Chain A
Amino acid sequence: MEQELISKKELLELTKISYGQLYRWKRKNLIPEEWFIRKSTYTGQETFFPKERILDRIEKIKNMKGDVSLDELANMLSPNLTELVRKREDLIKLNIISKSTLEFYTEERGKDKELNFEKILYLSILDNLFDSGKINFDEGKLILTFLDEYYPKFKGKNCELLFLRKLGISSCCLVSKPNEINFENSMKVVEKLNISDLIEELKIKLV
């Protein structure tokens, strides 16, 4: 999982923000601690960031800064699940979850009128996987039960959902980040979903 890094200096030049702003956003937890990667260089210790993610994040902060306060923004960007409830129809209307996924969920879990954020998150995970054609409905069931049981333990943490297949048998697991995980060669990682990123996207769409 090698990722391209960008030094702090390059980042500031590229995004035209000042040191003060960067430190302020860090204090407000708009930029997660684990993105600050310290490395030794000839001038001593320097800080680097995962390039794609930090650029994306700074773009987001800059775009939204006018509309909401920094604290609200931090709330939006943190992996904590918000206390938010949405009606079924709204989810389809807002184009967050497809109709077929919602029907699948109704079959499995019955017809609640309103869904809380956690459920919406599960649904959007399923939606993602169904949409890419990587899993079938049976496997969807597997993931749904799995998430129901184990996701609450990871609540608020940075984590990734892995969907695996070996010799036609499928399975899934949750891995907290940052962490490295290796499988033997015949195990195929069908899909890797970063849940924190997904939560972020969802929050922006829902708010």
Chain B
Amino acid sequence: MEKNMMNLEIKGSGSSEGGKYNTVVIKGNGKIDGNLDCNYLEVQGHCEVNGNVKSESVKVNGNNSIKGDLEADEIEIHGEVNVDGNLSVEKIHTHGMISVNGNCNAESFTMEGAFKIRGLLNAGELELKLHGPSEAREIGGEKIMVKRNGRVKFTRIRKLIMPFGFDTGLTTDIIEGDEIYLEYTNAKVVRGNDIELGSGCNIKLIEYQNEFKQHEEAEVVTYKKIRKT
């Protein structure tokens, strides 16, 4: 990118028309009406963008909502991000909640929290630690790992408060990948080379090529091995 680009900084409350910047830092409450193209975007607080965002690196501590597409090399989120369009990124790490209305493409996607993706979640490496109900229409990739809640201690207490279950799992139509490990997942179809199911899974159809392992608490309606031709 060219040098000598301006920086945009909003501290407190302010708004901008968008444009091309070197770094954009928003501390407080910012509103951007237009497309944003920058090398670095940092949000501490709240930011609303009415347009597309393109940035090499994005860091959000707080809340960021984008009315268009989000494109970046690296994204780190502590808090919540809403994207109305598509999200495409090389590497994304989220603590909190992410929702995407379109499709989501990432080479590496790690998350602790919850997500909601209306379209396809396509990731090379996917590592999800769910803390709340999550959903995606379809999930595809090479390595897919879905686990529930890193902090096991609380599950017992939760069961005492809500004995009939507290739906914190993942709901999706189709999961397809090479290596798949799932916990607390509701899916219609799971297809892959090596599939392992942990507790709390409910899957209608499994199609695997090499290996299939299943936890005793996982529910599978049918499964079949696909011959390698």
Interface residues of A (CB under 8 A from B): 8-9, 13, 16, 18-20, 22-24, 26-27, 43-45
A26 engages B122 (CB within 8 Å): yes
A27 engages B105 (CB within 8 Å): yes
Known A18-B193, A43-B188, A44-B188; judge A23-B229 contact (CB<8 A).
no
Name the 9 nearest CB pairs between A and B, nearest first.
A20-B142, A20-B178, A23-B140, A19-B176, A44-B188, A27-B105, A18-B178, A23-B122, A23-B141
What is the CA–CA distance of A84 and B185 in the complex, to the nearest angstrom?
50
Interface residues on B, range: 20 to 34
Q: Is B68 at the interface (CB under 8 A from chain A)? A: no
**Least Cβ distance of A40 to chain B in Å?**
11
A27 engages B176 (CB within 8 Å): no
A19 engages B140 (CB within 8 Å): yes
B107 engages A27 (CB within 8 Å): yes
**Least Cβ distance of A145 to chain B in Å?**
35
Q: Is B174 at the interface (CB under 8 A from chain A)? A: yes
Chain A neighbourhood of B173, CB < 8 A? 44-45
Chain B neighbourhood of A44, CB < 8 A? 173-174, 188-189
What is the CA–CA distance of A19 and B123 in the complex, to the nearest angstrom?
11
Which residues of chain B from 10 to 42 have any CB-CB distance to chain A below 8 Å in the complex? Answer: none
Q: Is B96 at the interface (CB under 8 A from chain A)? A: no
Chain B neighbourhood of A20, CB < 8 A? 124, 141-143, 177-178
Additional A-B contact list (18), CB under 8 Å, known A20-B141, A44-B189: A9-B191, A13-B226, A13-B229, A19-B140, A19-B141, A19-B178, A19-B191, A20-B124, A20-B178, A22-B140, A23-B176, A24-B142, A27-B105, A27-B122, A43-B188, A44-B173, A44-B174, A44-B188
What is the CA–CA distance of A113 and B174 in the complex, to the nearest angstrom?
55
Q: Which of B138, B176, B192, B207 has the most CB of A within 10 A?
A: B176
